[in-house]
Amino acid sequence: MDALETRELRYFTAVAEELHFGRAAERLGMAQPPLSRAIQQLERRLGVTLLERDRRGVSLTGAGQVLLHEGRAALDATTAAARRTRRVGGADSPGGSRNRLVLAVKAAASHELLQKLLDAYAAEPDAAEIEVLPSGTCEQEEMLRDGRADVALMHTPFNSLAGFDSEELLTEGQVAILPAGHPLAARETLSLADVSDVPDLPLARWPRHGTYPPGPGPEIHDQTQLAQLIALGRTMALFPDSARAWLWAEHTAVPLADAPPVVTHIAWPPHSRSLALAGLIRTAARL
């Protein structure tokens, strides 16, 4: 009675996220009637109501909210197990190395630290191949949870380390990256208040968990787009000081005097039994 099938969780999660049976059925590639029957059967088995249905639409009950949260985590775990198993067996890269780790990093952050880590680890006996997977802001968490990555460089306070083991590697300040010709770029330092509401230079917005925060700034999809929009005077962004490594001639980095420090951690799933990962963590801790 307490066991749940992956198929049931996929069905329920789709309905709970869409809050519409038709859209959920289309997303799942199935007809609506069998999807409705599957959700009703799941509710009977669990003995609870997961969804309220009325003429205004579909909404989650308290029990449904719990199952959505727990179900997402369970689906991520099963996906991660499949991905990491395929990676270790070489099935995801035919002809490639089976001794391989995927390291997720925020694009353009901690460039010097990353290079030092890769060089130091490559010198270790029996070092695994490291595939570097650049990501947007806060995507490293999701990549670790769903198995796209085995390990990640994460940055507090921007990333959450909840549910991961981690080792602190570097602490640094923050800078505002601005168009070189903007009046603020001539300042020696700035405050968070100085950059929070600049009408002609709104802060860039990165997605978090698939959605963009509200605001007038442009929605950013990748590092190259951000760099170009800053150079054109359309936006600015806040980054760790190490982001100076990717600045263009059209950019200026100004220190933020009152911004909290950014701490770079190397993070990994707590249940990992990978000897290659353990070796990488030991190397990182010695830097």
For the cut 80, the answer to whether the pLDDT of residue 220 exceeds it is yes
Q: Give the list of residues 6+ apart from residue 194 with CB closer than 8 angstroms, or none.
A: 184, 187
8 A C-beta contact, residue 152 and residue 114: no
For the cut 70, the answer to whether the pLDDT of residue 281 exceeds it is yes
pLDDT in tens, 165-214: 999 999 999 999 999 999 999 999 999 999 999 999 999 998 876 788 89
pLDDT top residue among 37 and 3: 37
Tokens for 130, please give them.
Answer: 């490291």
Match 């198929």 to its residue by tokens: 7
- What share of the chain in percent tops pLDDT 90? 72
pLDDT top residue among 183 and 139: 183
* Whole-number average pLDDT of the chain: 91
8 A C-beta contact, residue 154 and residue 264: yes
Backbone angles phi, psi at 182, to 5 degrees: -75, 145
Task: Label residue 107 exposed, middle or buried (CB < 10 Å: 0-12, 13-18, 19+).
Answer: middle
For the cut 70, the answer to whether the pLDDT of residue 119 exceeds it is yes
